[in-house]
Structure 1
Amino acid sequence: MKSQQVLRSLPFVVMAAVVLIDLMAGPSLGFLPLLTLGPTFASVSGSVRRTALVGVLALALCVPLAFYNRLLLTTQNNLTIVTIIAITAASMLAGHLRIGRERELANVRLVAEAAQRVLLRPVPRKAGDLQVALSYTSAAAEARIGGDLYEVATTPYGVRLLIGDVQGKGLEAVETAAWVLGAFREAVYDEADLHRVAERLEASLDRHLGGERFVTAILAEVADDEIALLNRGHPPPLFVGRDGRSRLLEPHEEGVPLGLASLGPPLPGPRRFPFGEGDQILFYTDGVIEARDQAGVFYPLTERAHLLAVADPQSALDALRSDLLDHLGGPLLDDAAMLLIRRQAG
């Protein structure tokens, strides 16, 4: 917002500076051609009408300054006036084209955001004996729409979860997320084995999208007193025990992202971890751990695990999100999704 205000005032500041310099230099030096900077800068952020008004103001300033410099009605001054008119017209055309591109980009962004909202439906607050909390922070307006995805489903085989991050941005990333989520929502009820669910996602990506896109993801299944994790190139989740101790749930062998299975070795199976009453697990996308502060320091997620020690999981996740934004000190450059599951005590 502040940068926009600076850009809007820049044409008038520049022309005022030209007038001041010209008056201080005296009639011997002419700075009138520099008045063309006014409409030029106006086309960067202003409307076509605003650019035209700035051009008219530049002409209005040119006449008394030409009289002051004893150049009125001379060939030199006439060329300056023609130059101001020509540059104003060119700036108006450039402004018109810029506004058209901005509108087109805004429409595309709105479509992508609407598609994301349809795909990323709200997760249940409770699933089986789990409490579930979600935080999804969209990237800054300057960034393109991302492809973070998540889902929680209660199935005959236990509560199953998916969190992932699509390679790329924009509508193509949203399209990829749609195919992954659609395949997951069907496969979790059909397949008893978590590895088979991942194979169904692979088949969907191969069939519809080819081999140029991929998705880093974690598939999880909660049953009894443990959780099974199938990591496909995604950042490992953060485990926080009921005693407050935390650690990353690293896989024995990390699998390649979804969509790249044909290029790598045989995929490892799920790894199982204890997951008892009062324990909680935070799943997240790389927009969280890759967020940097003004000094370029990444967000220290593992050091912030104590923020999750709040009775309500959603309040705990909201506190973590606030801390992330405070660390960043500015807008996110990538979407940041966090999914917290907590095993209810008793």
Structure 2
Amino acid sequence: MSQARHHWPIRLSSKRADLPRTAAHRRAAGPLAAGLPVLPVLIVSAIVIVDLAGGAGMICLPLLVAGPALAATTNGPRGVLCVGLLAVVLGAVLGASGGVPARELAAVLSALLAVTGASALASALRGRRERVLAAVRTVAEAAQHALLQPVPETVGPFQVAVRYSAAAAEARIGGDLYALVSTPHGVRLIVGDVRGKGLPAVGTAALVLGVFREAAYDEPDLLAVVGRIERSLARNLGPDDFVTAVVAGYPGTGRLEVVNCGHAPPLMISASGEVKAVEADDPAPPLGLRALSGQAPRLQVLPFADGDQLLLYTDGVTEARDHAREFYPLAEGVARHACDEPARTLTALHDELLAHVGGRLHDDAALLLLRKETVAEPVFAQSRSEAGPQAATRSAQRVTPPAWTRMP
């Protein structure tokens, strides 16, 4: 038979990525989002009220510069000019009615106009920087989608969920990597962590993912996939660079193949809820360091029955500390939140992880959960009224297993 039978269909999530908010959306969100200088106007009004109530005269007039100065931090140049002109007009009225000498009033109003102009210029420069930052973030998001492609909700007999958080939240991307592909040799996946951070780590992650996606389709042996990644990294990485990773595969025979290259051990969650770390029998060095140690990774074969789950993660999860410098207890968290819906399990774990660290991770963190769906038992019983060749044919049709359970 053709090996293509193991190239299982996948179903992508129906959730769409958040799109950039347009100006119309910002206007619909409220006055502040639309750029109206509400708070600066309120401050100017409060200063005027204090001046009128206390008769402070010249003492309060210089405080009017707070209006355009604040508007520069929250509004565009037009809003700053509006607040500044309002402050100048009110200052002139208050100075004239309060008997402020003309020379002193002119000096105050000139200073107010100068602050307004400088604030408008600062607002224009701030707006330009924000537009540049928005363009950079758009490029970063595109790079993230190109490297960390969306993982399907279901592939073959599996339910899948992923949660990823980059330590540099503004960049939206980091050195952690993951991928899951359906191949002629079964479902294969990788979760890894690149040494270092920043653009060099992103480049290495792109290299690993590109080689993995190519080799996962070509190589029937999972160790051969790891070997191709190792050879590619040996040619392209520096002497001090490496990648820790777990590569796993499900060839469709009720067993799971795992190759651990210096990475944190995955967690196996049985259908009964027991959580157990999958420790490597013979630990192998990280990818890129095999030439130094001369030690090759070995293949672990694990039983993987209906209802079992496998959680792969990076050290940004297990090394996350709270205010007391305590590490996040991942195994305990999995035992608390494990359920039949991987997406719900990871959402609960991710929320608990953020609460543990106080809302902001200091390292990239990735979680990938794979659950083998429970397959309904085939119906073998016949009714008494069924007899003869037609009944046998109907019975055979009922017990035919799903396509993804048939071996080539």
TM-score (norm 2): 0.66
Matched with 2:258 is: 229
Paired residue total = 337
Name structure 2 gaps, 5 residues minimum: 1-28, 376-408
The range that moved more, 145-154 or 39-48, is: 145-154
Residue type of the partner of 1:90?
A
For residues 308-328 of structure 1, the C-alpha deviation after alignment (integer angstroms, 9 at most, x for no partner) is 332xxxx33235315633774
Residue type of the partner of 2:268?
F
Question: In the alignment, which of 172, 181, 184 is matched to residue 153 of structure 1?
Answer: 181
Matched with 1:89 is: 117
Assess, with a 3 A threshold, how the Cα gap between structure 1 residues 106 and 317 changes in structure 2: closer, same or farther: same
Q: 2 CA distance for matches of 1:282 and 1:99? A: 43
Q: Does 1:58 align with 2:74?
A: no
For residues 157-206 of structure 1, the C-alpha deviation after alignment (integer angstroms, 9 at most, x for no partner) is 5532112345535x665544332211111223444654553343344345
**Counterpart contact for 2:261–2:287, Cα < 8 Å:** yes
- Residue 72 (structure 1) shift: 4.6
Q: 1 CA distance for matches of 2:248 and 2:111? A: 67
SS in structure 1 of the partner of residue 180 of structure 2: strand
**Counterpart contact for 2:190–2:247, Cα < 8 Å:** yes
Question: In the alignment, which of 228, 237, 242 is matched to residue 200 of structure 1?
Answer: 228
Question: In the alignment, which of 253, 261, 284 is matched to residue 313 of structure 2?
Answer: 284
Question: In the alignment, which of 51, 55, 60 is matched to residue 22 of structure 1?
Answer: 51
Q: 1 CA distance for matches of 2:52 and 2:111? A: 21
**Counterpart contact for 2:57–2:100, Cα < 8 Å:** no
**Counterpart contact for 2:140–2:171, Cα < 8 Å:** no
The range that moved more, 292-301 or 201-210, is: 292-301
Assess, with a 3 A threshold, how the Cα gap between structure 1 residues 10 and 164 changes in structure 2: closer, same or farther: farther
Matched with 1:316 is: 342
Identity over aligned residues, as a percent?
41
Q: Does 1:98 align with 2:126?
A: yes
Q: Does 1:307 align with 2:333?
A: no
**Counterpart contact for 1:139–1:145, Cα < 8 Å:** yes
Q: Does 1:116 align with 2:144?
A: yes
- Residue 116 (structure 1) shift: 2.5
Q: 1 CA distance for matches of 2:170 and 2:324? A: 21
SS in structure 2 of the partner of residue 281 of structure 1: strand
Assess, with a 3 A threshold, how the Cα gap between structure 1 residues 188 and 326 changes in structure 2: closer, same or farther: closer
Matched with 1:340 is: 369
Q: 1 CA distance for matches of 2:125 and 2:291? A: 44
Residue type of the partner of 2:106?
N
**Counterpart contact for 2:57–2:98, Cα < 8 Å:** yes
For residues 205-258 of structure 1, the C-alpha deviation after alignment (integer angstroms, 9 at most, x for no partner) is 455565686654321233555434334454432211122111233446766655
**Counterpart contact for 1:11–1:39, Cα < 8 Å:** yes
**Counterpart contact for 2:57–2:94, Cα < 8 Å:** no
- Residue 59 (structure 1) shift: 0.9
Q: Does 1:246 align with 2:275?
A: yes
Q: Which structure has the bigger radius of gyration?
A: 2
**Counterpart contact for 2:282–2:298, Cα < 8 Å:** no
Q: 2 CA distance for matches of 1:7 and 1:168? A: 40
**Counterpart contact for 2:162–2:346, Cα < 8 Å:** no
Matched with 2:4 is: none
Residue type of the partner of 1:307?
H
Correspondence list, 1:67-78, <5 A: 67-74=96-103, 76-78=104-106
Question: In the alignment, which of 170, 189, 195 is matched to residue 143 of structure 1?
Answer: 170
Q: 2 CA distance for matches of 1:271 and 1:321? A: 31
SS in structure 2 of the partner of residue 70 of structure 1: coil
Name structure 1 gaps, 5 residues minimum: none
For residues 13-72 of structure 1, the C-alpha deviation after alignment (integer angstroms, 9 at most, x for no partner) is 432343344345533761222221211111112111111111112212211232344225
Q: 1 CA distance for matches of 2:322 and 2:56? A: 52
